[in-house]
Amino acid sequence: MGRVMAQTLTQGRPEVVEDIDEPIDASAASTGLFRSMRHRNYRLLFIGTLFASSGLWLQQVTINYLAFALTGSSFVVGLASGARSVPLFMAPLGGVMADRYDKKQLMLSTQLVQMALTFAFAVVIVGGWLQTWHIFVFSLLSGVAWALNMPVRQSVIPTTVPRGDLMNAMALNSAGFNLTRIAGPALAGLMIAKVGAGENFLIQAAAYLMVAVLVMQLTLPHVQSAASSSGSAMQNLREGASFVWHNSQLRLQMLLALVPVVIALPYIAILPQFNVEVLNGSAATFGLLMAAPGVGAVMATLVVASLKGNVRYGLLLLGALFGLGLSLMALALATQLWMVLAMLVLTGGTQMVYMTASQSVIQLSIPDEYRGRVMGIYMLNQGALPLGSIFAGTLADLYSASTALVIMGALVAVLAAVFYFRAGSLRRLTV
Q: Look at residue 27 and tell me if it is in a domain.
A: no
Contacts of 107 (CB under 8 A, 6+ apart): 149, 152, 153, 156, 215, 218
Nearest-angstrom CA–CA distance, 25 and 168? 15
Per-residue confidence (pLDDT) for residue 283, from 0 to 100 = 63
Same domain, yes or no: 195 and 278 = no
What is the 3-class SS of the chain, one letter each residue?
Answer: CCCCCEEEEECCEEEEECCCCCCCCHHHHCCCCCHHHHCHHHHHHHHHHHHHHHHHHHHHHHHHHHHHHHHCCHHHHHHHHHHCCHHHHHHHHHHHHHHHCCHHHHHHHHHHHHHHHHHHHHHHHHCCCCCHHHHHHHHHHHHHHHHHHHHHHHHHHHHCCCHHHHHHHHHHHHHHHHHHHHHHHHHHHHHHHHCCHHHHHHHHHHHHHHHHHHHHCCCCCCCCCHHHCCCCHHHHHHHHHHHHHCCHHHHHHHHHHHHHHHHHHHHHHHHHHHHHHCCCCCHHHHHHHHHHHHHHHHHHHHHHHCCCCCCCHHHHHHHHHHHHHHHHHHHHHCCCHHHHHHHHHHHHHHHHHHHHHHHHHHHHCCCHHHHHHHHHHHHHHHHHHHHHHHHHHHHHHHCCHHHHHHHHHHHHHHHHHHHHHHCHHHHCCCC
Residues 215 and 275 in one domain: no
pLDDT in tens, the chain (431 residues): 333 333 333 333 333 333 333 333 434 445 677 888 888 999 999 999 888 888 887 787 788 778 878 887 656 766 776 677 777 777 777 778 877 788 888 889 989 999 999 999 999 999 989 998 999 899 889 888 888 888 888 788 888 888 778 778 877 887 777 777 667 766 777 777 778 888 889 988 999 999 999 999 988 776 555 455 556 777 777 877 788 788 777 888 888 888 888 888 888 778 878 888 888 877 677 767 877 888 888 888 778 777 766 667 778 888 999 999 999 999 999 989 999 999 999 998 998 888 888 877 777 777 777 777 887 878 777 766 667 777 887 888 888 889 989 999 999 999 999 988 887 777 666 65
* Boundary of a domain, candidates 223, 248, 276: 223
Does a structural domain hold residue 14?
no
Q: What is the CATH number of the domain that holds 339?
A: 1.20.1250.20
Closest CA to 362 of 374, 352, 351, 350: 374
Identify whether residues 216 and 275 lie together within a single domain.
no
Residue 218 dihedral angles phi and psi, to the nearest 5°:
-70, 145
Picking from 160, 146, 133, 152, the residue whose alpha carbon sits closest to that of residue 25 is 160
**155 in a domain, yes or no?**
yes
* Cβ proximity of 158 and 166 under 8 Å: yes
Claim to verify: residue 219 and residue 235 sit in the same structural domain:
no
Structural domain contains residue 8: no
The parent domain of residue 399 ranges over 230-431
Please check whether residues 274 and 398 belong to one and the same domain.
yes
If asked whether residues 74 and 187 sit together in one domain, one would say: yes
For residue 26, being part of any structural domain is answered with no
- Domain match, 188 and 241 both: no
- One domain, residues 268 and 361: yes
Asked if residue 339 and residue 418 are part of one domain, the reply reads yes
Which residues touch 414 (CB under 8 Å, ≥6 apart)? Answer: 325
In a domain, 129, yes or no: yes
Q: In the chain, how many domains are there?
A: 2
Q: Which of 243, 238, 247 is nearest to 96 (CA)?
A: 238
* Residue where a domain stops, chosen among 177, 194, 223: 223
> Could you tell me if residue 89 is inside a domain?
yes
- Where is the domain boundary, 172, 190, 223? 223
How much is the pLDDT for 15?
35
pLDDT for the residue numbered 261: 82
Query: Is residue 306 included in any domain, yes or no?
Result: yes
Same domain, yes or no, for 124 and 141?
Answer: yes
Quick one: 269 and 414 in the same domain? yes
132 and 60 belong to one structural domain:
yes
Q: Indicate left, alpha or beta for 398 from its phi (over 0: left) and psi (-120 to 50: alpha).
A: alpha
